[in-house]
Chains A and B, each alone.
Chain A
Amino acid sequence: MESGTITIYIRLRHKISGVLHETLTLDRLAQVIAPEKIKSHIDKMVIHQIKQEDNSYVVIDAMDIIRRIYQHYPNSDIQTVGPSQTIVVVSTKPKKARLILFALVWILLFIGAGLTIMNFHEDVAMQEVHQKIYTMVTGKVDFKPLILQIPYSIGIGIGMILFFNHIFKKRFNEEPSPLEVEMFNYEQDLDRYIAFHEKEKNEVGNHRD
Chain B
Amino acid sequence: MISSLILIIVGFSGGLAVGCGFVAFLAVLGIIPRLAQLTKTYGYIRAYEWSIVASAVIGSWLSLRNTSFHLSHVLLIPIGLGAGVFVGMLAAALTEVLNVLPILAKRIGIHEQILLLLMAIVLGKVFGSLFHWSFFVDK
Interface-facing stretch out of B7-15, B20-28, B43-51, B115-123:
B115-123
Q: At the interface, yes or no: B108 with Cβ under 8 Å from chain A?
A: yes
Which residue, B66, B102, B127, B136, has most C-beta atoms of chain A within 10 A? B102
Which of these, A98, A101, A159, A183, contacts B91 with CB under 8 Å?
Answer: A159
Is residue B56 within 8 Å, beta carbon to beta carbon, of the partner chain? no
Residues of B within 8 A of A52 (CB): none
Whether A152 pairs with B87 at a CB distance below 8 angstroms is yes
B4 interface residue (CB < 8 Å to A): no
Interface pair B83/A98, CB less than 8 Å apart? no
Q: Which of B63, B75, B125, B128 contacts A137 (CB 8 A)?
A: B75
Q: Cβ of B126: which chain A residues have Cβ within 8 Å of it?
A: 153-154, 156-157
What distance in Å separates the Cβ of B99 from its nearest Cβ neighbour in chain A? Answer: 7
Whether B121 and A159, one on each chain, are in contact in the complex, defined by CB atoms closer than 8 angstroms, is no
Contact B127 A114 (CB under 8 A): yes
Bound-state Cα–Cα, A101 to B134, Å: 31
Main secondary structure of the interface of A (DSSP, over half): helix
Q: Is there an interface contact between B76 and A109, defined as CB atoms closer than 8 Å?
A: no
Tally of contact residues, A, Cβ under 8 A? 66
Contacts of A137 in B (CB 8 A): 68-69, 71, 73, 75-76, 79
- Which label, helix, strand, loop or mixed, suits the secondary structure of the B interface? helix
- The CA-CA distance from A110 to B101 in the complex, in Å, is 12
Contact B133 A149 (CB under 8 A): yes
List the interface of chain B (C-beta within 8 A of A): 31, 34-35, 37-40, 62-63, 66-73, 75-93, 96-99, 101-106, 108-111, 113-118, 120-134, 136-137
- Does A193 make an interface contact (CB < 8 A)? no
**Choice from B71, B91, B97, B109 contacting A93 with Cβ under 8 Å:** B109
Given contacts A113-B124, A114-B127, contact A150 B133 (CB under 8 A): yes
Q: Which of A150, A154, A164, A166 has the most CB of B within 10 A?
A: A164
Q: Give the Cβ gap from B15 to chain A, nearest Cβ, in Å.
A: 19
B-contacting residues, A63-107, CB 8 Å: 91, 93, 98, 101-102, 105-107
Q: Is the CB of A163 within 8 A of B93?
A: yes
Q: Are A163 and B109 in contact (CB under 8 A)?
A: no
Question: Which of A108-123 touch B at CB < 8 Å?
Answer: 109-118, 120-121
